[in-house]
Structure 1
Amino acid sequence: MKRISSIVMIVMLGGTLLFGGCAEKGQEKTAGEQEITVAVNSETGGLDPAGMIALTYLSYSAALDELVAFDEKGELVYRAAESYEVNETSDIWTFHLRKDAVWSDGTPVTAADFINTMARALKPESGNGYANYLFPIRNGEAIYNGEADVESLGVTAPDAYTLVFELEKPCVYFLDLLRLPVYTPSCVKYADKVGSGWDKEPQTSVANGPFYLEEYVPEQYFVLKKNEKYWNADAVKLSRITYRFFHDQQSMANAYETGEVDVATALPGAVMELYEGKEDLVVTDTIATRYIYPNLEVKPLDDVRVRRALNLAVDRKELCEMVGKDTEPTVNFVAKYMKDKGADTYFTEGAEPPFEENVAEAKRLLAEAGYPDGEGFPVLTYNYPSLEMDSDTAQVLKEQWKKNLNIDIELKAQELQVNYTERRAGNFELCRMNWTADFADPYTYLSMLLSYSTYNCSGVRDADYDAIVEQSDGETDREARARLMHEAEQLAVGEEFYIIPLYTMKSCNLIRPAVKGVGQIPATGALDYRGAYRAE
């Protein structure tokens, strides 16, 4: 009933949704202008690539140029760098920066700007969840742990336009890492320290990419303006992108219907039915997994039998049927639609599923752990963001665990930013988690459960797991490396049950037919507005 009510609400509030004509509203609002307005989720995190970043930064990242990137065909694209070379042992990487690249205020972009971000991100007080992706660099981990000075970091600048990385050991996915925030530059002229506020002030938040920050109004919107000083400005058609914050998916869908926005992403699955057959509807595969973190430092979640029982007692097919058509069941940690490098298949297809659901076995395990038919099992609290999909998911999980294991779960809905902060602090028993790939390699998932990972929020400390993942880092044989990564996932998900995987998603997006050239970022599946324009 809840899903049907949502559909009715969209129709009532929009009024004209099923009768056409709405696609022209945003077009009329900005007729003749190369501007678009995008609806995004509530404000979370900052814009400093070295600081605590989350969803908001993902939108802002259109303003920055990485050293290199990969296009939708998997071909290397040079951005801030114009060339690079790597030594025979793949542990020294040298990048040559564009000499015609400047910040949006005209300041030259130099190697020091890249080092500035890395040095600041390696300070634990910065709170950057991506800091551990700097650990492949010589002394990166030691600096983060306070065991070495930042001056010993294996990144040097022989001159202003040359950047040299010396790695601890060969890293076969190093080029993929370069799209992460901690590898992007922050202007030394302004980016002094995390938390000083420079990143949300247009006067100091300069950018080296296609756009720069023109305005930021907390909890309402921010505006990116075309960077006329960008080295490739002629290829940028949009003059302005406005990102508006919304607290829920329903509001985003309504804003699209009323013409307030031109693009609305990650909408409820119900919208797929309403817009079926219409040009506005763009459904994309997301390289993401929605799952649950059980806190291993909380009893009885420290018992693998309990974690396994919780996993085996979830009926994921039923869950997805209840949550929406934009979800697909998964028992994997690595995203279902992540491609296997060098092959035309998906990575998860290269091995048997980590486990199979089995309610009878789940009951047996719970009894073996000391809770026959759920007797004496404590009431655990499940924290989740107060978004429709997550609320629906929480209700179904509560009902399934009660029916299948006779245990009660207390549901705790939180604002998205609160949920994010509490999870990072480890203040939870069960916590909803969603991970969209940051780069096109399974390591983006497997690294999160490493003992030293800055995203390891649930107390996983497994030396065997660490060793397998670390061995895969330097394995240059594709098939041998894939075997190691499958072995690591099996250990974490199919034996120790460190997470409770639920489903992967399709992204239901609405885009005005007049807005053309919107692409996808291959690593994440997210929409890319670099080449977007408004058709006349």
Structure 2
Amino acid sequence: MKAKRIVCLLLALVMMFSVVGCGKNEPTSSNADNGTKTNDTGNTTKDDPKEEKLADKQELTYSVSSDVLTMDPAMASSTPNWAGQALVYENLVSVVANETGGTSIVPGVAESWDVSDDGLVYTFHLRKDAKWADGVPVTAKDFEYTWKRTFDQATGASYTWMVEGVIKNGAKVYAGESPLEELGVKAIDDYTFEMTLESPSPFFLQFAGFPTYCPVREDLIAKYGSEYGSTPEKTVGNGAYILKTWDPGSSMIYEKNDNYWNKDEVYLTKVTRQIIKEVNAVAQALLANEVDIAGLDNPQWNAVVDATGIYNVNEMPSPAIENFIFNCADPIMKNQKIRLAISLAFDREKYNDEALEKVDIPAYSMVPLCVSVGNLNYAEAVKNENEYVKVLQEQNDPKKLLLEGMKELGLGDDPSKLEIHYMTRGTTEFSKKTAEWMKQNLETNLGIKFVIDMTEWNIMYDLIDSGDYQIAQGGWTADYNDPSNFLDNYHYKDGYYGEAKVRWADDKAIEYAKLIDEAKLATEDQERAEIYAKAEKILLEQSPVSPQYASKVRTLVGKYVKGYYVNPLTYPNYVGVKLLSK
């Protein structure tokens, strides 16, 4: 996710809904070759239906802090929009949370798919009983239109950038150098959809299930134009629910879609998305059991609400990382030893305890703990060797590194004369508090003069683009579940934070980029994980960036809510969810 959106997205992630912690991402029952699953929804529960007594009313309410801005998938670019649309639209495949806290890719509109031997052509076989909410059949032509609309510059789609280098001719089409007809998507017939890639992508199915690329109908776009998705009346999906009412800033109400192909697994007749912005109001709603699911992590309220015994309390890492960004072209920050000294001197454990009030997770890798490589949890697959900052801290004395770096630059041997500027990403009280903690910590541990430049987030990014900075506050939230979503950023040629921003382009940067390119071609999950870990060791030792902490999500779910599994890299569609009698 483009980092300029990190501020609002981190706030949204706090209110994401999760039932289990991140763990091993083992498939529930899958066949990776053809997409066959024993459970089409990925959301069934182990409970024996004969022993369950369902509540008379199957109506669920969950609270969030942010509004949905559009119900047009192509125009969505943030977590609140994607989560709000997930009940209404269904893609070729669905990326769903499973009981282990991991994710599974299960059939959506496509009941199965084939992949060519060279990994370049995906052929999706669509269900013949898939319908739009108004009863019109969903066809391969709808998907062909949707993908071409996404690549049409006139549409102004928000997330074409993520796949423009993935789909055959995508970059040329999006740049206007080739016609839309040459985009690598094609409806072979009404129920066969073919997609051709530029090169093999081991995580392509996550793109095939990404919210922005959910299908829309050409006739409805022609009818409503830019107003499509602006009201319930101008929104027609193909998912489990229909948007019935939409009161911006207040609530959205969804009702069961009787034309959904898997309607027998849709137990809830109504789902209400209630906006509650204030923490106190969320707590009061939970105490009164006015909501069934909500995010709450507040020292004042946690124990009080937990004591009611109404909810299961669940915590898990989010797919968001906060980090230092170093300008490797700066006269001082160009020195690798000085960058590494700052990275190693920063006390992540104390920072979390004191500045963050123990609500987050100290980070020693640029990839959050919940991220997977295929069916393997990345950190577990490499035996936590990706947390290489820990090793570097054991092997090095930060103060010694600093003095060596200063000597190499001819800056003498007095750290107190070394002035280093740090730009905040925003001017909030939180930004000020955390920056002041960093100042005290690094000045104590290194003896340097750490200068805080309070900077609005948009101005900070402009200064990064122009190269006018030494250290800045970075952050990244994953769009899909793979280390590449984080590590590709620092590829000196192709990364978002490549040579143009962090200005890291030396021999080590080239070595790192080669490993990132190599990982994209690896076909085995374990092999790919090991390549990423090898690349990350270079990244963390060279320190063009340095991890600080990963966010954490704390969610309360009514004990009577069954079949609800969430990973923060998925968006619940509420298929298979049911309410038991209290």
TM-score bracket for this pair, using the shorter chain length: 0.7 to 0.9
1:407 pairs with 2:426: no
Secondary structure of 2:254's counterpart equals strand
Closer/same/farther in 2, CA of residues 44 and 201 from structure 1, 3 Å limit = closer
Question: What stretches of structure 1 of length at least 5 have no aligned partner?
Answer: 1-30
1:364 pairs with 2:403: yes
Closer/same/farther in 2, CA of residues 342 and 76 from structure 1, 3 Å limit = closer
Match of 1:336 in 2: 369
Secondary structure of 2:236's counterpart equals coil
Q: Is the 8 A contact 2:376 2:525 kept in 1?
A: no
Q: Which amino acid aligns with 2:94?
A: A
Match of 2:165 in 1: 135
1:179-198 equivalences in 2 (<5 Å):
179-191=209-221, 196-198=226-228
Counterpart Cα distance in 2 of 1:62 and 1:387? 36
Q: Among residues 180, 192, 207, which one is paired with 1:162 in the alignment? A: 192
1:257 pairs with 2:287: yes
Counterpart Cα distance in 1 of 2:244 and 2:267? 17
Match of 1:533 in 2: 578
Task: Give the Å deviation of 1:94.
Answer: 0.3
Paired residues in the alignment total: 499
Q: Is the 8 A contact 1:289 1:502 kept in 2?
A: no
Task: Give the Å deviation of 1:299.
Answer: 5.1
Closer/same/farther in 2, CA of residues 62 and 270 from structure 1, 3 Å limit = farther
Secondary structure of 1:238's counterpart equals coil
Q: Report Cα offsets for 1:468-500 as digits up to 9, x if no partner.
A: 2222112124443223222332333332x3433
Match of 2:94 in 1: 69
Q: Which has the higher contact order (CA 8 A, sep 6+)?
A: 2
Q: Among residues 175, 178, 202, which one is paired with 2:205 in the alignment? A: 175
Q: Report Cα offsets for 1:95-129 as digits up to 9, x if no partner.
A: 01112112223332222332333333335683624
Q: Which amino acid aligns with 1:533?
A: K
Match of 1:22 in 2: none
Match of 1:204 in 2: 234
Counterpart Cα distance in 2 of 1:153 and 1:178? 15
Counterpart Cα distance in 1 of 2:264 and 2:459? 41
Closer/same/farther in 2, CA of residues 88 and 260 from structure 1, 3 Å limit = same
Counterpart Cα distance in 2 of 1:225 and 1:427? 51
Closer/same/farther in 2, CA of residues 129 and 319 from structure 1, 3 Å limit = farther
Q: Among residues 534, 547, 568, which one is paired with 1:487 in the alignment? A: 534
Counterpart Cα distance in 2 of 1:426 and 1:195? 38
Secondary structure of 1:286's counterpart equals strand
1:331-480 equivalences in 2 (<5 Å):
331-341=364-374, 346-347=380-381, 349=383, 351=385, 353-355=387-389, 356-357=392-393, 359-361=398-400, 363-364=402-403, 367=406, 373=415, 375=417, 377=419, 379-384=421-426, 393-394=434-435, 396-404=437-445, 405-411=448-454, 430-435=472-477, 437-450=478-491, 451-452=493-494, 459-460=501-502, 464=510, 465-480=512-527
Secondary structure of 2:321's counterpart equals strand
1:69-108 equivalences in 2 (<5 Å):
69=94, 72=98, 76-108=105-137
1:152 pairs with 2:182: yes
Q: Is the 8 A contact 2:328 2:334 kept in 1?
A: no
Counterpart Cα distance in 2 of 1:448 and 1:353? 18
Match of 1:13 in 2: none
Q: Report Cα offsets for 1:163-218 as digits up to 9, x if no partner.
A: 10111222222223322224321222334699924223212222111123333333
Match of 1:312 in 2: 344
Secondary structure of 1:502's counterpart equals strand
Q: Among residues 489, 497, 511, which one is paired with 2:557 in the alignment? A: 511
Q: Is the 8 A contact 2:120 2:197 kept in 1?
A: yes
Out of 286-295 and 198-207, give the one that drifted further. 286-295
Q: Which amino acid aligns with 1:57?
A: N
- CA-atom RMSD in angstroms: 3.9
Secondary structure of 1:530's counterpart equals coil
Match of 2:247 in 1: 217
Match of 2:49 in 1: none
Counterpart Cα distance in 1 of 2:461 and 2:245? 25
Q: Is the 8 A contact 1:519 1:528 kept in 2?
A: no
Task: Give the Å deviation of 1:246.
Answer: 4.3
Secondary structure of 1:267's counterpart equals coil
Counterpart Cα distance in 2 of 1:531 and 1:252? 26
Out of 52-61 and 120-129, give the one that drifted further. 120-129
Q: Which amino acid aligns with 2:311?
A: D
1:115 pairs with 2:130: no
Counterpart Cα distance in 2 of 1:458 and 1:67? 36
Task: Give the Å deviation of 1:162.
Answer: 1.3
Match of 1:292 in 2: 323
Q: Which amino acid aligns with 1:396?
A: W
Q: Which amino acid aligns with 2:189?
A: D
Question: What stretches of structure 2 of length at least 5 have no aligned partner?
Answer: 1-54
Closer/same/farther in 2, CA of residues 301 and 48 from structure 1, 3 Å limit = farther
Q: Among residues 504, 508, 520, which one is paired with 2:566 in the alignment? A: 520
Closer/same/farther in 2, CA of residues 110 and 528 from structure 1, 3 Å limit = closer
Q: Is the 8 A contact 2:318 2:370 kept in 1?
A: yes
Task: Give the Å deviation of 1:47.
Answer: 3.8
Task: Give the Å deviation of 1:442.
Answer: 1.9
Out of 480-489 and 458-467, give the one that drifted further. 458-467
